[in-house]
Each structure stands twice: as C-alpha cells, then as structure tokens.
Amino acid sequence: MTSISAVKSFAELSNYELYNILKLRNEVFVVEQNCVYQDADNKDLKGDHLMIKGEDGLLAYARILPPGVSYKEVSIGRVVSHPNARRTGVGRELMKKALEFILEKYGPCQVRISAQTYLRAFYSSFGFEAVGEVYLEDGIEHVEMLVKVK
C-alpha cells in the first residue's frame, strides 16, 4: 500500500483535509464505536495533525497536542485508522511517525495517551506503559499510558 504522510498545524490544514479528518473521526468514533461525544473540543486549534494518505484518501490520523493542553506532557490522541486500512500496518506507521515528529519538535520528553484498553498491547509495542487505573470514557474502557521519547 503506497502512502504519504504529512504533519500540519490547524492553520495549515486545507478545508478538504479538515473535512476528511473530521469525517474519519466521526465514522469511527461516533458511528462505529457508537459514542455520542463532542469531537470538536477546541484542542484541534492548538495541535499538530498527522495524516497518512493513500490513493483512496485518508488512511490514518492522529492529533499531537503540546504540553498543557490535555496533559502536562505532550499527548497523542484521536488515533484512528480507516476501516479499509486496518491490518495493513498503517497504524504502526502512524504511531512511529507521531513519536518521531514529537522527538523532532519537542526533543526528549514524556508522551501521554489515553488508550482504549483493547489496544494496550499495540501501544506497549512502542514502549508505552500503563499508569493508573482503567476508567470509562464515553462508555469504553481506557487507560492512560506514558512513554519517554529519546
């Protein structure tokens, strides 16, 4: 699968890119996972947006937020793969690129995520370790995880 990736600030996103990001997030987080929640949380305005695109459009996406927005650490959230792109390695590519971008932009630092518990092993493969207890967010079990990028 041929893909290209890009990281853009909110101001750099085209209308088309923003539409496709929101469409994918809604398709997976609202419809597929049956969660009614406020996706437009104003944090998009402060973050960087990592997109992996293929011939058929947006394959995967993650939002990278600076320290002090969601957590005291840099954070990665809204991690999503298009249903047709799952099990192709695009999720691994996405996380690898996110961590590389964070190291390049922020230097060595801790990164915090709020992971759906069924993806704990996936995130652990990148060095993330669970911290704290499992909690419900929008009816889905999550756990906070930390990794040090260096």
Give the model confidence (pLDDT) of 121-149 as tens digits.
Answer: 999 999 999 999 999 988 899 999 999 99
Please say whether the beta carbons of 63 and 78 come within 8 A.
yes
Q: Which CATH number characterizes residue 48's domain?
A: 3.40.630.30
**Number of structural domains, the chain?**
1
Q: Rounded CA gap, 110 and 22, in Å?
A: 27
Domain residue limits at 141: 4-149
Please say whether the beta carbons of 119 and 142 come within 8 A.
no
On whether the pTM is more than 0.75, the answer is: yes
Q: What is the pLDDT of residues 73-114, one digit of tens each?
A: 999 999 999 999 999 999 999 999 999 999 999 999 999 999
